[in-house]
Amino acid sequence: MPRDPNAKWRVRLAFLSLFVVFAVGAYFARDLAKLRDGMAVREGRTALQDVTSAKQTAEALNQHPQEKYQEKSQLPLAMATKAADETNSAIENLTNEIAPPGIAKNIDFYAAASPGDLEALRRDLKTAEANAMTFLPRYVALLKAERDTVEGYLRANVDKGTAARFLASIDKRHADITDFTSRMLVARADYYRAYENYVAFLAREWGAYKVDKGQFLFPLQFTYNRYNAVAGAMTAAANRVVELDREGKTLLTSQQEQSTQPTNGK
């Protein structure tokens, strides 16, 4: 068959994107969790790591009155840490629900796949796309539940000024996370859609293509060109997810730099 001199490379690049995007997906939940945990609550985790409730904390402080003032100032941070940890776990579980397990395939799968195998993969990708497009309200609900928990504690245990500063910081952080999550979910939906189009193309060409030494071979240059088009679209969508992953890490760094603001009143 006629060969585009760059075709083999494009085939490899598109196929590698299957692994790149899922590697990014593995970081997605962790980065969301870290973004939520960006302020100084980690200081409270160190000081009160063995404390699981405000009551237990009070009992511990009464046993060491000389440290009471210092430790009491950490109580809101410890409470926020506990709430953040619970939300982090829920966020990770929710992110893991977006895509059915096993949708990242290597080239050996396509070499041996039956039409039924390809159709099953397409169904899973459509499910992943639909989930990515509809899960944002569930992320927002998790953030709201955490804020409500922290707010209830602050209102009962600290002065209004401290509570207001603490909550303003949480609101800003949550707004940034929601914006990032929204764009990441759209990017992932676009990727799943492009991936499904890629699999749909292979399903239509089933029986015509071969896999030889890690390369797809097609009998006609026209078919090869169409393959390059769908593979290129999938690669572009994967690259967008990778770009957003880098942006998420930058946001995380920025929020860590601002982590002391809720407690120092700046």
Mean pLDDT of the chain: 76
Quote the pTM value.
Answer: 0.72
Q: Which helix (H) or strand (E) element contains residue 211? A: strand 210-212
Q: What is the pLDDT of residue 113?
A: 94
> What pLDDT band is residue 169 in, cutting at 50, 70 and 90?
confident
Alpha-carbon gap, residue 252 to 30, rounded angstroms: 11
Sequence-ordered list of residues with C-beta below 8 angstroms from that of 98, at least 6 positions apart, any chain: 128, 131, 132, 135, 188
pLDDT digits (tens, 9 = 90+) for 52-88: 344 454 454 455 444 444 445 577 778 887 887 888 7
C-beta separation of 244 from 26 below 8 A: no
- Residue 39: closest CA among 174, 218, 201: 174
Q: Which helix (H) or strand (E) element contains residue 54? A: helix 54-63
Residue type, 176: D
Q: What is the pLDDT of residue 22?
A: 45
pLDDT digits (tens, 9 = 90+) for 95-123: 899 999 989 898 889 999 999 999 999 99
pLDDT digits (tens, 9 = 90+) for 207-229: 999 998 888 899 899 999 999 99
Q: Is the pLDDT of residue 45 over 50?
A: no
Strand partners, 211: 216
Q: Which of 46-60, 157-171, 199-213 has the lowest mean pLDDT?
A: 46-60
C-beta separation of 136 from 185 below 8 A: yes
Alpha-carbon gap, residue 124 to 101, rounded angstroms: 9
Exposure b/e, 72-99, CB count within 10 A at least 16 = b: eebbbbbbbbbbbbebbebbeebbeebb
Q: Is the pLDDT of residue 44 over 60?
A: no
Mapping DSSP to helix (H, G, I), strand (E, B) and coil, where does residue 216 land?
A: strand
C-beta separation of 199 from 125 below 8 A: yes
Exposure b/e, 59-68, CB count within 10 A at least 16 = b: eebeeeeeee
